[in-house]
Amino acid sequence: MRVRMRCANLTRCRLIVPVAVVLLLSGGVIAQMFAGLTPDELTSGRKMLKAFEPVVEPVLPATVEVHHGGDRIALGLIVSADGYILTKASELGDAVTCRLNGGREYDARVVGISADHDLALLRIEADDLTPVPWRETDGLKLGDLVATPGPEGPLAVGVISVKPRRIPPRSGMLGIQMGTPDDDGVPIDLVFEGSGAEDAGLRVGDVVTHIDDERVTSREELGDAVRNRRAGDTITVRYLRNGQSRQTEAQLRANIAGMGPSRDDLMNRMGGELSVRAAGFPLALQHDTVISPSQAGGPLVDLDGRVVGLNIARAGRTTTYALPASEVKSVIEKLKEEQHLVDVDDGEEVDASIEDAQDQVQ
């Protein structure tokens, strides 16, 4: 059999030809080739990533790492030359820095949040940045190859598996077992390990009196107050400990070990850690690229190195969601307009705007 191929894009040809050859091999040969390789090696192995280096090169100057307490918590996208950066909101801490391609690092402040999209607009003091090269996603097809870059090179590759659609929200879980209510509120009989309740410092014997500003006097009221929030949301819990009133902030989880996840949840988590907020997006496309939660918030690029979306969540073993480029750009413009309503030269007003913005995602 003779095969003729024409390709105007050399990089695209170099990627397509090896894939085509693999597809022509018999099933037994394929099994031998991939025997012993982990999923990460198939999509993020050294040779595969090396092939994608020229693909992601155009977007590296626009890709940043977002850090909190010295650790990377997310990636981000430079969306304008004068210091605006977009990232995943629910991963942010109270003080973040942005590390750019090449190693420069800046303190960042939150100037706006879209809770529906789980996006945060940051601002750093820089005016010589390279904005992201966008591509509209209308031309994407199922099976198209895509790559996730970091500031220094490709991190993983995959294919588009589902076209853009609404991703329904998942109810959050606090991670407590409720006792018998009394006149004060709902006592805690058990705090599950790895839950938002444990991270927030709640203990067995504490009595929950309020979720945000809602008074809770029964198990049903407490359960409804939590279920009405999304996984990834942060709630204020008011409670009594030894008769003394206290307050804490707790982030709701989608899944908590020991709280009876479904078989699908168990299968999804076998591939690694998932994003805390992994659902509830107005519009998202799905691809099978394997990324970590700390690699969400950054770009997803096509074979021409243009950004087709922003990776917003690792949602399953082979499921990652990205907000389409057109959706992201509309959010950016809205957040910029809202940010300009605040006098950014007034330090007190800036601090207030950050607190207001962070409250939106809770």
Mean pLDDT, the chain cut into blocks of 10 residues (362 residues total): 45 45 38 49 71 94 94 95 95 89 93 94 93 80 93 93 92 92 96 93 97 94 90 93 96 75 53 84 95 95 94 93 94 84 40 43 42
- Residues 333, 232: Cα–Cα separation, whole Å: 24
pTM: 0.74
CB within 8 Å of 157: residues ≥ 6 apart: 43, 44, 48, 49, 52, 145, 146, 147, 148, 289
- Residues 322, 144: Cα–Cα separation, whole Å: 14
- Burial of 162-200, coded b for 16+ CB within 10 Å and e otherwise, reads eebeebebbbbbbbbebbebeeebbbbeebbeebbbbeb
- Whether 67-132+329-360 and 176-251 share one fold: the answer is no
Q: Where exactly are the structural domains of the chain?
A: 67-132+329-360, 176-251
CB within 8 Å of 138: residues ≥ 6 apart: 326
Structure tokens at 303: 């074979």
Give Cα separations from 34 to 19, 37, 40, 146, 319 (angstroms).
14, 6, 12, 21, 21
pLDDT of residue 327: 93
- Residues 47, 79: Cα–Cα separation, whole Å: 31
pLDDT of residue 38: 59
The type of residue at 155 is L
- 176-251 belongs to which homologous superfamily? PDZ domain (2.30.42.10)
State whether residue 210 is helix, strand or coil: strand
pLDDT of residue 124: 96
pLDDT of residue 87: 97
pLDDT of residue 1: 39
pLDDT more than 90, % of the chain: 62
* Residue 286: strand pairing partners: 162, 321
Question: Strand 207-211 relative to strand 186-191: parallel, antiparallel, unpaired?
Answer: antiparallel
pLDDT of residue 30: 37
- 67-132+329-360 belongs to which homologous superfamily? Trypsin-like serine proteases (2.40.10.10)
pLDDT of residue 264: 54
- Whether the Cβ atoms of residue 155 and residue 50 lie closer than 8 Å to each other: no
